[in-house]
Structure 1
Amino acid sequence: MTDTLLADVQDYFAEKADAYDDVDLQPYWVLSDRLLSAALTDEVLPKLPEGFRFLDAGCGTGRWTTFFAEQAPSSRGTSYDLTTEMLGVAQEKARHRGFADRVEFVRGDLADVTDVLAGQTFDLAFNFHNVLGFVADPEQVIADIAGLLNPGGLLVSFLPSVWHTAFFNISVGNMGEAEKALGGRGRFTTTMPDMHLYDLARIEQMHAAAGLELDVVTGFPNLIYPGYQETQLHGSTEKVVNILEGDNFDRIFEMENALRTTPGIAPRGNNLFVVSRRPA
């Protein structure tokens, strides 16, 4: 990662750290997180050994470190992030929720993860939302993380989609960004750095090159998409809020969750959910 890009990414997330968990006030992201939790419960947790070790590669405020630490009380983990401010929030969350003794917090660039975590191995590594969007060389990062997995270990990713990024930019009238997105780079707002974007071909190629076998490739949410306000930390698009009001939330969740395992559904998803395995 160039020094300029590294600084841009650090600054972008440092400014958001204290308020990042306010996404829990936005109904769309509550739905997305509930679907991600369901996917992890169905597709990942049953495949892990008792007392597994995990790596949260790009942990942010520790939202998903918290999920695994609390769902599996015998697990131990390493939460790794570029941004001091995000790590501070994650550490405080671990202390408050009682699992700080089971998680190590490490600051570092994922480009250096092999050296920083030399000698450690994991049964599970995961990177969620835009982590692999913001690294300089995602193919190399995937290969490096794969090298830290035990035989049979899982790598789980939640990736920004080429197709959804193009759709979103068309929906807000930004044709230039939509056209750029179809080339594999893009963003949702002018205040964020450009990201790497993913389609099925890139997912297959990068995992094969890292020696990983794909177990699950899907995407979600599929039936409702975020509006402009959902790209911000605060506020929600009125139309999205109205759709998800009351009993509709649970009904939409049930429909979305059923679609999650539908063959070929991945390209409809706002994000792409990928579970891969290091061969035993």
Structure 2
Amino acid sequence: MNDTTATATAGTDNAELLDYFRNKADGYDRVDEQVYWRLSDELLWEAIERYVLPGVPQGGRLLDAGGGTGRWTDRLLTARPDLTGVLYDLSPDMSKHALAKAGQNGYEDRLTVVNGDLMNVAEDLAGQTFDLVISFHNVLGFVADPREVLRQLSTLMKPGSQMSLVLPNRYHAAFFNVMVGNLEEAESAVAQRSGRFTPDMPPMHLFTPTELQGDLAGVGLHTTVRTGFPVLVYPGYQETQLDGSSTGVMRTLSDPEHYARIRSMELRLLGETGMAERGNNLLFVAKRGV
């Protein structure tokens, strides 16, 4: 699933993660061509425009924690030319593509790329503070200690700043693996709160909305948005790959009229708290007190 690099989960060393993303790096952005991820990205961008960007001050600073190839840094720095940013990622193979985007789109003077392990992010970025911290898709699933990374990221946030997170949903991971016949991974999601979507990906932590909201509160952040997306269409196995679409997804989304109607319904549900447990992804926005 639309994954980005961070650091190693328990039992997964950085070398394994670096190899995994080295093999994906050059083709990673092809995910934009898959109809399911196009819908997913449109919903995430709508959420950012609704719930996040209005609270980011002019001249603000962005930290993309585990930003990979810079897909979301690129959108944010392009949409808001007043912003400057730091993209922090374990994999040089991924982040070189973020630097290329910055050069192509004219914001290389507003973006700094730092390669490092998110378990050391507070030390690596010591002395810097940010108005917006984002960490999207499977990043926090891959770290050794998600709570510790959240704590470190919170120390880099200015008073009144925001954190926006997209995380792998434990409930969806169990459902997905049952649907593709991988009961061992489904059982791991249910019993161990860890798992994976494909045999070649490293195992990762999985999250529930209640758990995550508690973890954010524990590091001094108040949740303002707790939801999930997409909630009406789920990915199939082919959506875990860099190319192609599953038969069911294509049947549902390939017709432009059907796509538009489903997108409209998704947008109406986007932001509802009750959608958190149902979403393919969890989406949280949290704020640091002033």
TM-score when normalising by structure 1: 0.98
1:10 is matched with 18
Which letter does structure 1 place at the counterpart of 2:108? A
1:222 aligns with 2:221: no
1:263 aligns with 2:269: no
Which letter does structure 2 place at the counterpart of 1:98? G
Deviations 1:217-242 (A, max 9, x none): 10000000000000011111122112
Match of 1:279 among 261, 283, 289: 289
Question: d(CA) in 1 for partners of 2:115 and 2:223?
Answer: 29
1:201 is matched with 210
Shift of 1:206: 1.0
Which letter does structure 2 place at the counterpart of 1:180? S
Q: Report the CA distance shift for 1:101/1:220 in structure 2 as closer, same or farther (over 3 A).
A: same
2:138 is matched with 130
The answer (yes or no) to whether the contact 2:226–2:272 under 8 Å persists in 1 is: no
2:113 is matched with 105
Comparing 54-63 with 256-265, greater Cα deviation is found at: 256-265
Deviations 1:159-188 (A, max 9, x none): 000000000000011111101101310100
Shift of 1:4: 5.0
Shift of 1:39: 0.2
Question: d(CA) in 2 for partners of 1:4 and 1:141?
Answer: 16
Alignment of 1:1-280 (within 5 A): 1=8, 5-182=13-190, 183-245=192-254, 246-280=256-290
Shift of 1:3: 8.8
Which letter does structure 1 place at the counterpart of 2:230? P
Q: Secondary structure at the match of 1:67?
A: helix
Identify unmatched segments of 5+ residues in structure 1: none
Deviations 1:205-263 (A, max 9, x none): 21111111111110000000000000011111122112112211111111001011333
Identify unmatched segments of 5+ residues in structure 2: 1-7
Q: Report the CA distance shift for 1:170/1:4 in structure 2 as closer, same or farther (over 3 A).
A: closer
2:3 is matched with none
Aligned-residue identity in percent: 49
Comparing 149-158 with 236-245, greater Cα deviation is found at: 236-245
Q: How many residues align?
A: 280
TM-score when normalising by structure 2: 0.94
Structure 1 runs, 4 residues or longer, greater than 4 Å off:
1-4
